[in-house]
Structure 1
């Protein structure tokens, strides 16, 4: 036998003195109180009890035996089936969304943007992402070193967007390597010379632009394709186009020297002079626009941000004048139609045209003309020499990009350029342009087969207001044009090509959606 553990030593033996166990587990000490007497179980009666006994027994059973749970009744035959849902902890309460890198104006003293996200929701530790963001920012700063002056926040904004693109496409394990690979591709990019350069932007933005450009370039604009978009003569006339040659001989008064004219800049009247421009004009070269300052509308100029109410101009230069009446323009240089079609000499069926103008003693005259065909290939780009007796008052370089050196090398006059155009295009050619009526007026051309993107994309205020080509190209094509400063100005080749791409976008998007909606109805 194994020795006892003594667990019952403090309990009195129930048999007390009558215990016959040689080694009892219980205590037989006289100091312990005796155990309670055992209650013997009564035997079951052999005969049925009387009514009183049965009633007492039933009451005792009800008190001792718990009541049974009610039975679940079966559902009706027409009741809908019950949907059994999984436990709450196993139910999907929503899909996991990765927090994005929110662009913020918060930056460190060195210019590094600060990542504004919830650290608990990020799959990659926030310190790691902030370090990778700084790496991307440093390389964007190097890439944009030549254009940083035009937009000081460009590197910061693109670094934030690039980090967000990488994070969304990566996992916790591949994130760091993805950033390193992206940095290597940024190093291999071409140094941009302007904000509209193809290498400016995040990787997704560049890929999206390339794909969109391929779609645009693959669309060849033919006369048959563009015929439904050609404006009617009535529409052209309502938008300020000249549809007939003005009366008179034309070209009999090439210059306005010695006569009074109203300055197109300051509104004062001045005497047009040939060479000695002594009268100085103080003007604003920008346009007035409306903005809200402390809840009040204020009209200010885009050039200097001065209020229109101040009156004082911000720029100095000579007085210039602009003529718009058909008979005045016809007197300076005659209008004419393009050449008639010749079966043995086929001409281009579609061209995009743009001109650059300068101020002269004969009003505003064309100084450069550029033409691209329906595929976007440059066909003509020439500077134009002024006619005899017409002198330049202002080259308007800020907008035209024309300098004295450009016109010094020009060989063709407006008459010669018109002959060159007649050898390329005729009255059946579809001319494309933005505010094309201005270009045709300076070229002294009357034409009825025109597509004007200023009419295709109307201003929300309606005519005569027109949206600028720069804003339309930025909105529809995601490109920046006309970014030259006061010494560079615009490029007529760039404007003509952009107008062509804008028309392609219209055909691929707006016209296609209109056809689809018409077919659906």
Structure 2
């Protein structure tokens, strides 16, 4: 069975006494070749026969290279047979230019060398696509189809954006190719993509939502629609304003109270007066002397108390130290006080002003420029002074979160506690403040007119700190009410987490609140409320 192939014929039979008639191995004796002795004369003759023609060929080659001005530095080597019966030797051949090699490391779904291709006319795919799930010809056809639609779409854009159609064509085709498991799916996806591009509105600027790939354009259009649905116009949010007859229910200062309108701020500081500490509920005499030595006279809990189940029993526990209600405070400080909701007493420290009166003062002073806006967000930060809770910072933002006013307030009375944990203001920050409360309030009136709608969370505290009487109020603590009703209120961070899905005020112990972030968040959750109400109305 092996004889016909003769696979074992070249090999001698391993059995020296083999008598088989049809042995698969050979039985021929190997031919012995006698080695020629390598004498010195023989070696000298051989070397002369080889070297002589090689020298002649080298000289001829050098002359040829000198006479050729365009010869490449890269030379090829080819065997040349020497004349005169000598042996074959390898010598350098005539120099020839070597063409540059094409790039071979181009992925089928990324066009890193797109700049090498023409930016005018139909773009071309690189010819050496690797790992491409579709044939080259079909991909080039799909690229041409997409480019035709992109070129029509961008026909009104500036000439400087001519490369835009190429870039978006390559990106769209690569996305379609990567997401198509076979050729049929690829062709269908290209067709749908071309139809989608052809139905877009013609853009007239580079930031138009119709520019970009299908995914990018869809996201841009959704953003525009979301912004349109969330637009805070006067007509869309006036229904959320707090009615005047509910100001007392939610403990807001009455903007029409004559006692407040006639306040003069005749007693700016309470030094020497006896008050009850708002932290430890102990009586003390207000004084700003020897504050460092007095540190520790007040032991208090800065956290809130809430019910918890401990060992099967319901107990009220402080969030700051997990101690039970009634235990000694976990933090040392000095005694501080607050006039709270005694608006008449607050008017004796700093006089109240209504937004209408501020607008009239501007008109009398010759400042008639209308800068007030329809809707804005406001947040204030307070510190403890000898006048009680005093305004330390006011931040006003517009509908889009742009900061209109962010100013620190210069204090005119001694500071007892800067309250960094909650105010976010550090020791020394107020040294850079320029304007006092009256000046900051006048600056705020540039944006707050009598008809301006102020949005905030727990705005009654901000209005009292600013000593501002205003009627158009939207309090997000009222728009998103507590389950127990007034006067209970939900925390802003809880509402933002529930409605918007992100966290704020999560580093209170280190940095305090950011008034700009808080003011912006109140506007954002109001936008969410407007969208939800519009959607509910459309379903009815």
After TM superposition, the structure 1 = structure 2 runs for residues 444-459 of structure 1, keeping only pairs within 5 Å, are 444-459=467-482
- The 1:353–1:480 alpha-carbon spacing in structure 2 relative to 1, beyond 3 Å, is same
2:493 aligns to what SS in structure 1?
helix
Q: Is residue 412 of structure 1 aligned with residue 435 of structure 2?
A: yes
- The 1:499–1:337 alpha-carbon spacing in structure 2 relative to 1, beyond 3 Å, is same
- Supply the distance in 2 between the matched residues of 1:282 and 1:455 (Cα, whole angstroms): 33
2:428 aligns to what SS in structure 1?
helix
Give the aligned CA root-mean-square deviation in angstroms: 2.4
Q: Does the 8 Å contact 1:221/1:375 carry over to 2? A: no
Q: Does the 8 Å contact 1:356/1:400 carry over to 2? A: yes
Q: Which of 328, 332, 349 matches 1:332?
A: 349
Q: CA deviation at 1:231?
A: 1.6
Q: Which of 306, 312, 316 matches 1:299?
A: 316
- The 1:216–1:444 alpha-carbon spacing in structure 2 relative to 1, beyond 3 Å, is farther
- Supply the distance in 2 between the matched residues of 1:263 and 1:271 (Cα, whole angstroms): 10
1:308 aligns to what SS in structure 2?
coil
Match in the other structure for 1:148 = none
Q: Is residue 240 of structure 1 aligned with residue 251 of structure 2?
A: yes
- The 1:312–1:223 alpha-carbon spacing in structure 2 relative to 1, beyond 3 Å, is same
- Supply the distance in 2 between the matched residues of 1:304 and 1:211 (Cα, whole angstroms): 49
Q: CA deviation at 1:406?
A: 1.2
- Supply the distance in 2 between the matched residues of 1:216 and 1:312 (Cα, whole angstroms): 51
After TM superposition, the structure 1 = structure 2 runs for residues 479-490 of structure 1, keeping only pairs within 5 Å, are 479-490=502-513
Q: Is residue 470 of structure 1 aligned with residue 484 of structure 2?
A: no
Q: Does the 8 Å contact 1:357/1:400 carry over to 2? A: yes
- Supply the distance in 2 between the matched residues of 1:457 and 1:334 (Cα, whole angstroms): 32
- Supply the distance in 2 between the matched residues of 1:488 and 1:398 (Cα, whole angstroms): 7
After TM superposition, the structure 1 = structure 2 runs for residues 280-319 of structure 1, keeping only pairs within 5 Å, are 280-309=297-326, 311-319=327-335
The more displaced of 241-250 and 325-334 is: 241-250
Structure 1: segments with no counterpart, 5+ residues: 1-169, 171-208
Q: Does the 8 Å contact 1:369/1:382 carry over to 2? A: yes
Q: Does the 8 Å contact 2:359/2:450 carry over to 1? A: yes
Q: Which of 342, 350, 355 matches 2:375?
A: 350
TM score, norm. by length of structure 1: 0.56
Match in the other structure for 2:234 = 223
- Supply the distance in 1 between the matched residues of 2:223 and 2:251 (Cα, whole angstroms): 32
- The 1:222–1:375 alpha-carbon spacing in structure 2 relative to 1, beyond 3 Å, is farther
Q: CA deviation at 1:375?
A: 2.3
After TM superposition, the structure 1 = structure 2 runs for residues 365-380 of structure 1, keeping only pairs within 5 Å, are 365-380=390-405
1:370 aligns to what SS in structure 2?
strand
Q: Does the 8 Å contact 1:275/1:391 carry over to 2? A: no
Q: Which of 495, 499, 512 matches 2:534?
A: 512
Q: CA deviation at 1:450?
A: 0.6
- Supply the distance in 2 between the matched residues of 1:281 and 1:213 (Cα, whole angstroms): 52
After TM superposition, the structure 1 = structure 2 runs for residues 72-471 of structure 1, keeping only pairs within 5 Å, are 219-243=230-254, 244-245=256-257, 246-247=259-260, 249-277=263-291, 278=294, 280-309=297-326, 311-324=327-340, 325-338=342-355, 339-340=358-359, 345-387=370-412, 390-471=413-494
Q: CA deviation at 1:212?
A: 9.8
**Number of equivalences:** 307
After TM superposition, the structure 1 = structure 2 runs for residues 48-67 of structure 1, keeping only pairs within 5 Å, are none
Q: CA deviation at 1:293?
A: 2.2
Q: CA deviation at 1:516?
A: 4.2
- Supply the distance in 1 between the matched residues of 2:224 and 2:370 (Cα, whole angstroms): 32
- The 1:265–1:210 alpha-carbon spacing in structure 2 relative to 1, beyond 3 Å, is farther
TM score, norm. by length of structure 2: 0.54
- Supply the distance in 2 between the matched residues of 1:287 and 1:213 (Cα, whole angstroms): 39
Match in the other structure for 1:92 = none
Q: CA deviation at 1:222?
A: 2.2
Deviations along 1:196-243, whole A, 9 cap, x unmatched? xxxxxxxxxxxxx99998876553322232222222101222111111
